[in-house]
A and B are shown apart, each in its own frame.
Chain A
Amino acid sequence: MNWPSKTEMMVLRLLISGGESYGLALVKASDGALKRGTIYVTLGRMEEKGFVASRQEETTPEHIGIPRRIYKVTGLGERALSAVEHGERLMGGESLPKAVMS
């Protein structure tokens, strides 16, 4: 099982608390913890792992510009986050060892 990394966990928490969102909104909501340059790579990787699902923003005929890709957390993502958080609680708030996470 590929457990979510620290950054991925943050993305999952933001998506769970804020609902569907797009990259820039997540960066802004994270107060600088997520970086603009890596957010889309992270989201792409998470999508491959099945933690998030994405869809293209619905556009109207008046809409100008590039449509956004909207991300939402999947059931797998929620369960993975929940499991890792549970593990961290058992560790007394410490991060789980890398060997466990890989």
Chain B
Amino acid sequence: MKQRAFQQLEGERLMAARKREGGGNRKMMQKTVLHRRSDHSSFSSRWQDAEPLHTDTPPDAIVDAWQEILEAEFHKGTPGIIGIPGEDGKVWYVTPHAAEDDPVDQVQGSSPITSIHIDLDDFEFSNGTRVVPDVAPALDGKMVKPPGSLIMQLTEYLPAKRRLRKDLEQVVADMRDEYFSALAAGDAREAKFALYRGRLELVRAIVPSWCATFVSWLVNWWLAKTP
């Protein structure tokens, strides 16, 4: 099955490449869209403006990789970027999102991710065929912490009463709730707004409490000093 799927894909790619040879100097772009069917057993694929970057990629490794990625993405539903190393020093970058020109009625299944868009890109790579699924939303390889992480860490060290900590936790929870809800809805502006508003609320929650603590400490100190 895997072999057949790959052969089908490879055949279509080569056909598209031949067609392109007579097509002039068009911008080189390689991508494919894989549809997952409801029987979970096979993939159909097609190439758009395909250009063969390599022809000696081991079929099983690539098809295995696709299936692994599709499974991971389908079940987790987490958008991300995945690199599939090929044997010739190339990496196939996979980004899950629905392509606009896909016939949606051909796609079955309940997952919100209905198709996978694959880009081929030049990439220096130490030779190997292991698939490294990286579905975390990493930016330039850095781990991204959720908003409010720093303030939660700071409250461990800065003077804060237990009740204030409890309140801060809830303010941070609200901020994250609204931030991630807005991101999930694709509203980046609202997400940014939620972030700024949350930070402001944190300041509002912290400053009066710290001021009161400081004044109280000052008064106690003054009373202790005066005979």
Provide the residues of chain B in CB contact with A67, threshold 8 Å.
173
Please name the residue on chain B nearest to A66 by beta carbon.
B173
Report B146-204 residues with CB < 8 Å from chain A CB.
Answer: 146, 163, 166-167, 169-174, 176-178, 197, 200-201, 204
Q: Is residue B61 within 8 Å, beta carbon to beta carbon, of the partner chain?
A: no
Task: Evaluate contact between A66 and B176: CB separation under 8 angstroms.
Answer: yes
Task: Evaluate contact between B167 and A66: CB separation under 8 angstroms.
Answer: no
Known A-B contacts A24-B177, A44-B163; A37 and B169 likewise in contact (beta carbons under 8 Å): no
User: What total of chain A residues lie within 8 Å of the partner, measured CB to CB?
Assistant: 14
Chain B: interface secondary structure?
helix
Task: Evaluate contact between A36 and B167: CB separation under 8 angstroms.
Answer: no
A49 to B133, CA, bound (A): 53
A23 to B204, CA, bound (A): 15
A25 to B177, CA, bound (A): 11
Q: Is residue B205 within 8 Å, beta carbon to beta carbon, of the partner chain?
A: yes
Q: Is residue A89 within 8 Å, beta carbon to beta carbon, of the partner chain?
A: no
Task: Tally inter-chain residue pairs, CB-CB below 8 A.
Answer: 40
On chain B, which size bracket covers the interface?
10 to 19
Closest 4 CB pairs of A and B: A37-B204, A40-B167, A66-B173, A24-B174
Provide the residues of chain A in CB contact with B204, threshold 8 Å.
37-38
CB distance from A20 to the nearest CB of B (A): 15
A interface with B by C-beta (< 8 Å): 22-24, 36-38, 40-41, 44, 65-69
Provide the residues of chain A in CB contact with B205, threshold 8 Å.
37, 40-41
Task: Evaluate contact between A44 and B177: CB separation under 8 angstroms.
Answer: no
Please name the residue on chain B nearest to A48 by beta carbon.
B163
A66 to B149, CA, bound (A): 11
Task: Evaluate contact between B171 and A36: CB separation under 8 angstroms.
Answer: yes
Name, among B146, B172, B174, B177, the residue most crowded by chain A CB atoms within 10 Å (CB to CB).
Answer: B174
Task: Evaluate contact between A36 and B170: CB separation under 8 angstroms.
Answer: no
Please name the residue on chain A nearest to B180 by beta carbon.
A65
Chain A proximity mask over B200-215: 1 for CB below 8 Å, otherwise 0? 1100110000000000
